[in-house]
Amino acid sequence: MEERNRHPVDRLADVRQEIRRLEEEEQGLRSYLLEHPHDRIGLEHVASIGEQRRSRVDIKALADEIGHSIVQRFTSYSSCLMVRLRERLAPNGGG
């Protein structure tokens, strides 16, 4: 597959597929390190395990409790542009 001659849309799809593959590999390696505490020292890196806690607010429950109009006054919105891909039908795909 010649990367330089591929259309940017097709190349973006390739990159996203590679990211998915790498994320799956990362999950496998992460699981291994969590399950093998005595095998966390490599030739170049050392893995350390830590815990991070997060808190989240249930906006719907909060609004039900104190009122939707109050929550609405303190709610901000943002937007972003997204690029979605879908696979094309083959030229002779009958569609």
Structure confidence at residue 94 (pLDDT): 58
Structure confidence at residue 49 (pLDDT): 94
State pTM to two decimals: 0.69
Structure confidence at residue 93 (pLDDT): 61
Query: pLDDT tens digits for the chain (95 residues)?
Result: 556 789 999 999 999 999 999 999 999 999 999 999 999 999 999 999 999 999 999 999 999 999 999 999 999 999 999 999 988 887 776 55
- Tell me how far apart the alpha carbons of residues 51 and 40 are, in angstroms, rounded to a whole number: 16
**Taking every pair of C-alpha atoms in the chain, what is the biggest distance, in angstroms?**
59
The residue extents of the domains of the chain are 8-73
Structure confidence at residue 3 (pLDDT): 62
- Tell me how far apart the alpha carbons of residues 67 and 65 are, in angstroms, rounded to a whole number: 6
Give the Cα-Cα-Cα angle 78, 83, 12 (nearest 5 degrees): 140
